[in-house]
Amino acid sequence: MRFRLTPRDVTFFDLFAMNAQHLVDGADLLAQLIGAEPPDRPAHAARLREIEQDADDAKGTIMNRLNQTFVTPFDRDDIYTLAAAMDDCIDAMEAAGDIIVRYQIVDLPDGVVTMVATLQRAAELTAAAMPNLRTMTDLKPYWVEINRLESEANRTYRALLAHLFGSPQFQRSPADVVELIKLKDVVDVLEQASDAFERVGSVVQTIYVKET
């Protein structure tokens, strides 16, 4: 089935491209937050929260538009699922920043930096792919790479947990174990962000499969 391109429909592509930019901004802010000195992190977390709220508003605009539009470029369910998956990405990244600040985590292991760098790459790829929904071209390399990045992030995630669990540093005192649990929470939520980016790729693949 070919999809139709009408002036009214075009806005969906624009809205998704704009929303993907929030993911890029969110991932970049999260990278800055973890690279910052602990006293400077709350300010970054506050800005990350604003971006998450902007992304929420963008999702609301997409839903309202969907409500008013009779002819949409794709299946309505897919638009909804895509918006929801993008929401999960920014929610998890915001949660990671908020947790680091609230739990007053000072030292972040290198694996966290690596995982956030992978999220930045996933966000950039997603933002670059969104405009291609208009023409349904060049999308396969995107979801293939997003899948690869998720596998890479998953390996980093497991190696990082194995490292934390095996490190004598977190087994010396009860307080050390609490520190380990806090770090595990951070890396778990980063892994969830990575999974959410993979789901965005999956929805794009589903849309592609149906529309071409």
Do 62 and 15 form a contact (C-beta atoms < 8 A)? yes
Q: Name the minimum Å distance from CB 28 to its own copies.
A: 22
81 to 100, contacts with its own copies by CB under 8 A?
Answer: 84, 95, 98-99
Check if the beta carbon of residue 63 is closer than 8 Å to that of residue 80. yes
- Looking up tokens 């933002």 gives 127
Applying CB under 8 A, among 80, 114, 121, 145 the residue interacting with its own copies is 80
Distance between CA 93 and CA 29 in Å, rounded? 9
Structure tokens at 190: 């980063």
Q: Output the furthest CA–CA distance in the chain (Å, rounded).
A: 64
Give the pair of three-digit tokens for residue 92.
């998890």
Binding footprint of its own copies, residue count (CB under 8 A): 40
The Cβ-side half-sphere exposure at 195, using a 13 Å CA radius, reads 11
Distance from the first to the final alpha carbon of the chain: 6
Is residue 49 a contact point for its own copies (CB under 8 A)? no
Answer whether 172's CB lies under 8 Å from 58's CB.
no
List the x/- string, 103-122, binding to its own copies by CB under 8 A: xx------------------
**Residue whose tokens read 């694996």:** 111
Q: Which of 77, 106, 135, 141 binds its own copies (CB under 8 A)?
A: 77
Decide: is 174 part of the binding site for its own copies (CB under 8 A). Answer: yes
- Which two tokens mark 173? 């005192």
Compute the least distance from the CB of residue 117 to its own copies, in Å: 22
Segment interacting with its own copies, rule: CB under 8 A, options 11-19, 36-44, 75-83, 111-119: 75-83
Q: Is 182 in the site for its own copies (CB under 8 A)?
A: yes
10 binds its own copies (CB under 8 A): no
The reply on whether position 162 binds its own copies by CB under 8 A is yes
Residues found near its own copies in the complex (CB under 8 A): 63, 66-67, 76-77, 80, 84, 95, 98-99, 102-104, 158-159, 161-162, 165-166, 170-178, 180-182, 184-185, 202, 205-206, 208-210, 212
